[in-house]
Amino acid sequence: MFRAVLLFLTLTGAVDAAGPSAARLLRQPAISSERIVFVYAGDLWTAPRNGGAAQRLNKTPEAEATPRFSPDGKRIAFTRRGDVYLVSAEGGDERRLTWHPSPDSVAGWTPDGRNLLISSDRFRGSLTHSPHLFLLSVEGGLPEPLPIPRGTRGSYSPDGQRIAYGPNPEIVLRFPWKRYRGGAYGYIAIYDFARNSYEELPRSGVNDVCPMWHRNAIYFASDRDRVMNLYRYDLASKRTDKLTAYDEWDVKNPSLGPDAIVYENGGRLYTLDLESQAVREISVTLPEEALPGTEERAKWRQALDDAWRAYRDHSFHTVREWDSIKPRYEDLMNWAAHASDAEYVITEMLGETGQSHIILIPPARPDDKIGMLGADFRAEAGFYRITKIYRGEEANEKPLGPLAAPGLNISEGEFLIAVNGKRVHTTSEVYSAFEGLAGKEVKLSVSMTPSESGAWEITVTPGGGEAGLRYLEWERVNQERVAEATGGRVGYIHLTSVDEIDKFQKAWREQRNKVAAMIVDIRNNSGGGKADEILAWITRKPSRLMYDRHRRVPPWDHFLDGPKVLVANDHAVSGGDELPYLFKLAKAGPLVGNRTMGGMIGSGQPHKLTGGWVLHVPQYGFYWLETASWAPENYGVEPDYVVDLKPYPLTNGRDPQLEKAIELAVEALKTYRTIPDPPAYEPK
* Domains along the sequence of the chain with CATH: 2-289 (2.120.10.60), 375-467 (2.30.42.10), 488-600+636-671 (3.90.226.10)
Q: How many CB atoms lie within 10 A of CB 494?
A: 22
Residues 107 and 152: beta-carbon distance below 8 Å: yes
List, in order, residues 6 or more apart from 567 with CB less than 8 Å away.
519, 520, 521, 522, 523, 591, 592, 593, 657, 658, 661
Residue 151: predicted pLDDT: 86
Q: Averaged over 653-664, what is the pLDDT?
A: 95
Q: Averaged over 438-462, what is the pLDDT?
A: 96
Residue 239, burial from CB neighbour count under 10 angstroms (0-12, 13-18, 19+): exposed
Residue 5 has pLDDT above 50, yes or no: no
Lowest mean pLDDT segment, chosen from 342-346, 470-474, 480-484 = 470-474
DSSP classification of residue 130? S
Most confident option among 174-183, 268-277, 649-658: 268-277
Residue 555 banded pLDDT, cuts 50, 70, 90: low
Of 430, 432, 428, 404, whose CA–CA distance to 415 is shortest? 430
Residue 290: predicted pLDDT: 75
Residue 386: predicted pLDDT: 97
- Dist CA 650 CA 645 (whole Å): 7
Of 175, 98, 186, whose CA–CA distance to 144 is shortest? 98
- SS3 (DSSP) at 230: strand
Residue 325: predicted pLDDT: 96
Residue 395 has pLDDT above 70, yes or no: no
Q: How many CB atoms lie within 10 A of CB 514?
A: 11
Residues 74 and 37: beta-carbon distance below 8 Å: no
Radius of gyration of the chain from its Cα atoms, rounded to whole angstroms: 27
Q: Averaged over 133-138, what is the pLDDT?
A: 96
Residue 365 banded pLDDT, cuts 50, 70, 90: confident
- SS3 (DSSP) at 326: helix
Residues 404 and 374: beta-carbon distance below 8 Å: yes
Residue 62: predicted pLDDT: 93
Residue 142: predicted pLDDT: 95
| CA–CA distances in Å: residue 41 to residues 49, 133, 333, 593, 624 | 20, 28, 12, 43, 47
Residues 507 and 536: beta-carbon distance below 8 Å: no
Residue 17: predicted pLDDT: 33
- Dist CA 93 CA 380 (whole Å): 29
Percent of the chain past pLDDT 90, that is, above it, reads 80
Average of per-residue pLDDT values in the chain: 91
Residues 247 and 227: beta-carbon distance below 8 Å: yes
pTM across the whole model: 0.93
Residue 267, burial from CB neighbour count under 10 angstroms (0-12, 13-18, 19+): buried
